[in-house]
Structure 1
Amino acid sequence: MRIHFLQHEDFEHPAYLGEWMGERGHGAATTRADREESFPELVDFDMLVILGGLASVYEVQDRPGVRREMAFIRRAVEAGKYVLGFCFGAQLLSASLGGEVTAMDHPEIGWHEVRLTQGARSSERFKYFPERFIAPVWHGDMFSIPPNALRTISGEYCPNQGYMLGDRVFGFQVLLHMTPANLEEFIGVIGEPVPGPNVQAPEEVRSGLRHVDDVNRLLAAFLDGIASGGQGS
């Protein structure tokens, strides 16, 4: 499988996704969207992965470079490519598909329990996911579920943690690709979390890494299902 990444920050890189690709022998290329690099031809990749970023979508989506990126994302969706967005990437994907991104009353940072919706439990794509699991999150904005899409993951503090459009387009607010090293990169760039509503203390965020292998395995099973060519619901 040929995977193409849209990257927006140095520290918002593929993380565990890179490990998964290396283990499975998949090819990859990257466009630095923040540097307005050229986008690839649609025939050059099978899966598009939109990575995170520090910006708020509603503050940047009218910029010419971001508008070009959103148009490219729409073309990939319309061409039937697999398209995955993580965190800011899921928010940008939602906005590209007619959804809306808004600020939350309080940011959500740490390891929180999330749950699958009935729609996700009925999908072959999520068959390896438990109904409830602990996942890492680090965001202050929330996407709406795009038109014709289904909510897949929900949480206590943020009801929209994931969505799917058909069988090939998926948005994840949860950071299933987080690794211990990547968490330290987050803290190094953004700073230590300041405890508050929905925000865990730094020591609690780091101790949550005991869950990281579990969420990485969920992502691996999800991606393996796509790469195998299996058809979802």
Structure 2
Amino acid sequence: MTDILILTHVDYCPPGHLAAVLEAHQLDYTVVRSDLGELDGYDLDRPHAVAVMGGPMSVNDDLPWIGAEVAALQHIIQRDIPLIGHCLGGQMIARALGAPVHRMPYTEVGWQPLVRRDKASPNPWLTHLPSEFPVYQWHSDTFGLPAGAEWLLSSPWCPNQAFAWGDKVLALQGHPEMTEALVTDWLRDWAHLLDETQASQQGLRQMLVDLPARVAALNRVAEGFYRHWLQLAFGDLRQPACPAA
């Protein structure tokens, strides 16, 4: 009954807080590594909800599994299944819906303020959110808005931070799934990629200030997205104890 598919693309971009939310609800889920060919042969008519996580590659890279994942997402969208994408996952959804994905002239990194763009007619994906709030970012590509999409969020460095398509698809450019461990691991392993001379990037020390409180607030942002995604798939769920980050 609770078949949930999570597509991942590299070991250091796992489901993160999404997994904690699903486990708190006692919902079973399957994690598939698209980049390792694990999507091949998977029954795409089985899942009732699908999430797509991040990764360091570009949708525009010449990798054979990218086309296979885009085709799989098109099948999921045609089935009208609740679908949520994070960073690369959001870009994959945009490509599946026929929108362009392109390189930005800079990399957006750190705790960036997002602004809601749905003020005239509030969107159900955002009902838990204030008009402005921070989300962790680390990306150099960004998506265009597909035909028929609703523009939901923007940041100072990336206008297209999120869109909804229909009532069951949400594409996010940021990383609401981050945990304290993921933030510290990324900054330990990938600090050499940071360039603090870019105004679009926070410094390493700045990103770690008040990290537990920042991640706790980010968890609440993520939980609102995931709650709506799960309600679309399974109806109202019993409110679990707050999952650990």
Alignment partner of 2:221 out of 218, 222, 225: 218
What does residue 127 of structure 1 align with?
A: 127
Give structure 1 stretches of 5+ with no counterpart. none
- Confirm or deny: 8 A CA contact 2:18 2:226 kept in the other structure: no
Conserved? CA contact 2:49–2:230, under 8 Å: no
Paired residues of 1:39 and 1:72 also in contact (CA < 8 A)? no
CA distance 1:190–1:39, change in 2 (3 Å) = farther
> 8 Å contact 1:57–1:88 — kept in the other structure?
yes
Are 2:83 and 2:229, in contact at CA under 8 Å, matched by a contact in 1? Answer: no
Structure 1 residue 46: Cα displacement: 1.1
- Higher mean alpha-carbon deviation, 120-129 vs 98-107, is at 120-129
210-219 or 170-179, larger mean C-alpha shift? 210-219
Which residue pairs with 2:104 in the alignment?
104
Encode CA deviations 1:72-118: one digit per residue, 9 max, x unaligned.
Answer: 11000100111111001111111111011111111010111111112
Q: Distance in 2 between matches of 1:159 and 1:218?
A: 19
Cα gap change, 1:138/1:121 in structure 2, threshold over 3 Å: closer, same or farther? farther
Which amino acid counterpart does residue 30 of structure 1 have in structure 2?
A: V
Cα deviation, residue 224, structure 1? 1.7
Distance in 2 of aligned mates of 1:225 and 1:140: 28
TM-score, normalised by the number of residues in structure 2: 0.87
Amino acid at match of 1:219: A
More helix by share: 1
User: Partners of 2:81 and 2:153 in 1: how far apart?
Assistant: 22
TM superposition shift of 1:165: 0.3
Q: Name the counterpart of 1:11.
A: 12
The sequence identity of aligned pairs, in percent, is 24
User: RMSD of aligned C-alpha atoms?
Assistant: 1.8
Distance 1:57 1:226, change over 3 A: closer
Aligned partner of 1:201 in structure 2 is 203
Matches of 1:64 and 1:225 in 2, distance apart? 33
- Does 209-218 or 100-109 show the bigger shift? 209-218
Change (3 A) 1:117 1:155: same
Report how far residue 39 of structure 1 moved: 5.0
Point out where structure 2 has 5 or more consecutive residues left out of the alignment: 237-245
The separation in 2 between residues aligned to 1:11 and 1:199, in whole angstroms, is: 20
Q: TM-score, normalised by structure 1?
A: 0.92
Contact preservation (8 Å) 2:84, 2:229: no
Deviation at 1:160, TM superposition (A): 0.5
In structure 2, the residue corresponding to 1:167 is in which secondary structure? Answer: coil
Choose the corresponding residue for 2:57, options 49, 55, 58: 55
* CA-to-aligned-CA distance 1:145-176 (integer Å, 9 cap, x gap): 11211111111111000011011111111211
> For residues 93 and 120 of structure 2, what CA distance do their matches in structure 1 show?
19
Q: Give the match's secondary structure for 2:13.
A: coil
In structure 1, what is the equivalent of residue 87 of structure 2? 87
Higher relative contact order (CA 8 A, sep 6+): 2
Match of 1:45 in 2: 47
